[in-house]
Each structure stands twice: as C-alpha cells, then as structure tokens.
C-alpha cells in the first residue's frame, strides 16, 4: 500500500492531541488504544521509507567509490 506524508502527519497529530479517531481525505479510522495508533505510525513510517528506497530518493545502503591511480608503467 502506498502511504503519504499527509497520512503520517494526521496520525502524529492525533497522537499528540490524544485523539483515537484519525481522518484523512475521505476516510476515518478509530483506533482502540494508543498502542494501535503508535503501531500505525510505525507502519506508515516504514512504508514511506520503503517507497523512498524503491524510487531512489533515499539510499538503502552506503556506497563507496574507490579510485586508484599510478604514475606510469
């Protein structure tokens, strides 16, 4: 599933204000506990990171470029 930054912001706003009901676009979700809300935030964060890695916006692993040179023969 594709996640958006707006979804993450809506979840974090709900957590900060103590709400359990989150609305973004035309969907409303009510979480039973704060733990469920925090798990949803983590899921969206991981999804956004995965999307960024797939599109090349965030490198998955560090890359190294090594150059060697010599002066002649």
pLDDT, tens only, 37-66: 999 999 999 999 888 877 776 665 566 778
Cβ atoms of residues 49 and 58 within 8 Å: yes
Tell me whether residue 45 is in a domain: yes
Q: Which residue has the higher pLDDT, 73 or 4?
A: 4
Tell me whether residue 34 is in a domain: yes
Cβ atoms of residues 58 and 50 within 8 Å: no
Q: What per-residue confidence (pLDDT) applies to 54?
A: 79
Length of the chain: 73
Name the pTM for this structure: 0.71
Q: What per-residue confidence (pLDDT) applies to 53?
A: 79
Alpha carbon distance 49, 65 (integer Å): 24
Tell me whether residue 44 is in a domain: yes
Number of domains composing the chain: 1
pLDDT at 16 over 80: yes
Domain residues for 29? Answer: 5-49
Q: What per-residue confidence (pLDDT) applies to 36?
A: 94
Cβ atoms of residues 15 and 38 within 8 Å: yes
């Amino acid at each position: 599933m594709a996640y958006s930054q707006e979804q993450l912001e809506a979840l974090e706003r709900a957590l900060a204000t103590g709400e359990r009901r989150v609305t973004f676009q035309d969907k409303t979700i009510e979480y039973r506990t704060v733990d469920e809300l925090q798990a949803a935030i983590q899921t969206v964060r991981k999804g956004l990171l995965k999307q960024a890695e797939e599109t090349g916006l965030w490198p998955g692993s560090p890359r190294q470029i090594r150059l060697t040179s010599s002066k002649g023969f």
